[in-house]
Structure 1
Amino acid sequence: MNNYQLESVLNEFLKPFAIKDYCPNGMQIEGKEEVRKIVTGVTASQALIEAAIEQDADALLVHHGYFWRGESEPLKGMKFKRIKSLIESGINLYAYHLPLDVHPEVGNNAQLATLLGIEQLGGLEDGNPNSVAVWGELPSSLSAKDFGKLLATKLNREPLHIESAIAKPIKKVGWCTGGGQDFIDLAASKGMDAFVSGEISERTTYSARELGIHYFSAGHHATERYGVKALGQWLADQHGFEVTFIDIDNPV
């Protein structure tokens, strides 16, 4: 498939133009015209680029790409090395940030729900059809300890649990993959028993304790592995690409 045609296929599926984001979504760096082999991963780090080169990939598809709002603009240092490696190898770079968080099928939130066995029931942000924070229910209530074990087992990472000051089981869960910890106040106002995200701030601890909601910091990388992996599988199933997901370890 032509590299621009692939971008059109991805844009039609993910609908990035309907979402205001902090970076450009779609093709970020142009490479060879014909794309047959794709490597997917969470972040376009140097390690992932080198893995894609070893795989003789025509394209690299990631959740975290480049050209973020407010980042340093000059192409030098780490940024230069990454982009130079992609250009010299002819690898196309495609990146989808918020569109890949919120997609109802392959999105990070949807994939995390499937992994944890949560029925996703809606968004937490009223009036926003593309709410990046969502909520749902477990099939049956779990103790906070058992819910933490579920996260640890499924994500292969021990979550940081900030306990609610009110001891209660967990049935209604809100979540936002990645860096969505500041949605905890909204989740508490909507009656969630627990909120899950990838990161934690100092203030998050007090929100959990004082608002009576369990908080689980489960890892930015760990909660966002599954969207891009599912997107790559969709490209393989629907369009016949050879796709390889490569997970570059990141403890954060």
Structure 2
Amino acid sequence: MDNLQLQRILNDKLSPELIKDYAPNGLQVEGSKTISKIVTGVTASQALIDKAIELGADAILVHHGYFWKGEPEPIVGMKGRRIRSLIKNDINLYGYHLPLDIHPQLGNNARLAQLLDIEVEGGLEGHAQSVAMYGRLKQAVSGVEFAKRIAKALEREPLHIAPENADKLIETVGWCTGGGQDYIQLAADNGLDAFISGEISERTTFVAREQDIHYFSAGHHATERYGIKALGEWLAKEHGLDVTFVDINNPV
């Protein structure tokens, strides 16, 4: 497949033009014109690039790519080494950030809901492009039970901050994968019983305790493995591409 054709396919599926983002979505580093082998992963780290080289990939497709707003512009140091590796080995790099978080079928939020058996009810911000979602469990559970469910689904123990009423049952849940911890206030304002994100901040603890809402920090990487994996599986099924998901361990 032509590398620009792949970008058109991905853009058509993810509609990056519908949301304002912090980095360019699409082809970020151009390599070979012909793509036969794709490696997918969460972040375009050196370890992922090295694995793609080992596997003979023509393209890497990630959730966390390069050229973030506010980062230093010179292509030196770690950034320079990564980009040199891509160019030297003629590998295309595609990155899709918020469009992959919010996609209703393949997105990180949608996939996390499936894993945790949450029935999606809508966007926490009140519109279809909301980065945070909310939904409902089929049966109310305790905070301890829900933490166990998260641990089993994501294969890592979440950090659970209980409200002052620690025995409060959980039926309604808000969530935002990755660094979405500050949406907890919106979840609390909407009377939800619990909120999940990848990362936690110092202030998150006190919002949970004082606003009567369970909070679960389940890991940035752990909550965002599943969207990029699903996107790769979709490319393989619908377009016959050879796609391999590579999970580079990240405890954060």
Q: Which residue of 2 aligns with 1:173?
A: 173
Superposed displacement of residue 165, structure 1: 1.2
Alpha-carbon distance between aligned partners in 2 of 1:237 and 1:114, rounded to the nearest angstrom = 20
The alignment yields a C-alpha RMSD, in angstroms, of 0.6
Structure 1: distance between partners of 2:121 and 2:128 = 13
Q: Is the 8 A contact 2:65 2:94 kept in 1?
A: yes
1:157: how far off? 0.7
Please give the residue correspondences for 1:103-114 in structure 2 after superposition, counting only pairs within 5 Å. Answer: 103-114=103-114
Q: Which residue of 1 aligns with 2:71?
A: 71
Q: What residue number does 1:212 align with?
A: 212
What are the ranges of 5 or more consecutive residues in structure 2 without an aligned counterpart? Answer: none
TM-score by length of 2: 0.99
Deviations 1:154-183 (Å, cap 9, x if unpaired)? Answer: 111110010011231111000000000000
Tell me if 1:154 matches 2:153: yes
- Give the distance between the partners of 1:193 and 1:24, measured in 2 at CA: 35
Cα distance in 2 between the residues matched to 1:115 and 1:8 = 29
**Counterpart residue number, 1:239:** 239
TM norm structure 1? 0.99
SS at match of 1:199: coil
| Aligned equivalents of 2:39, 2:138: Cα separation in 1 | 35
* Map of 1:48 onto structure 2: 48
Q: 1:185, CA displacement in angstroms?
A: 0.6
Q: Return the letter of the residue paired with 2:143.
A: A
Q: In the aligned structure 1, how far is the partner of 2:246 from the partner of 2:192?
A: 34
- Name the residue aligned to 2:7: 7
2:36 is aligned with 1:36: yes
Name the CA distance, whole Å, in 2 between partners of 1:153 and 1:77: 38
Number of the residue aligned with 1:141: 140
Residue identity (%):
65
Distance of 1:212 and 1:85 partners within structure 2:
49
Indicate yes or no: 2:221 matched with 1:197.
no
- Shift in Å, 1:191: 1.3
Amino acid at match of 2:147: G
Is 1:121 matched with 2:113? no
Match of 2:90 in 1: 90
After superposition, give the CA deviation of every residue in 1:86-115 in whole Å (9 maximum; x if it has no partner).
001111000000000000010000000011
- Secondary structure class of the residue paired with 2:152: helix
Instruction: Report the CA distance between 1:116 and its aligned residue.
Output: 0.8
SS in 1 for 2:140: strand
Whole-Å Cα distance in 1 between the matches of residues 36 and 145 of structure 2? 43
Question: Is the CA contact (8 Å cut-off) linking 2:122 and 2:128 kept in structure 1?
Answer: no
Q: Which runs of 5+ in 1 are unaligned?
A: none
The runs of at least 4 consecutive aligned structure 1 residues that moved more than 2 Å come to: none
Amino acid at match of 1:158: E
One-letter amino acid of the structure 2 residue matched with residue 212 of structure 1: D
How far apart, CA to CA, are the structure 2 residues paired with 1:100 and 1:165? 35
Between the aligned partners of 2:94 and 2:141, the Cα distance in structure 1 is: 39
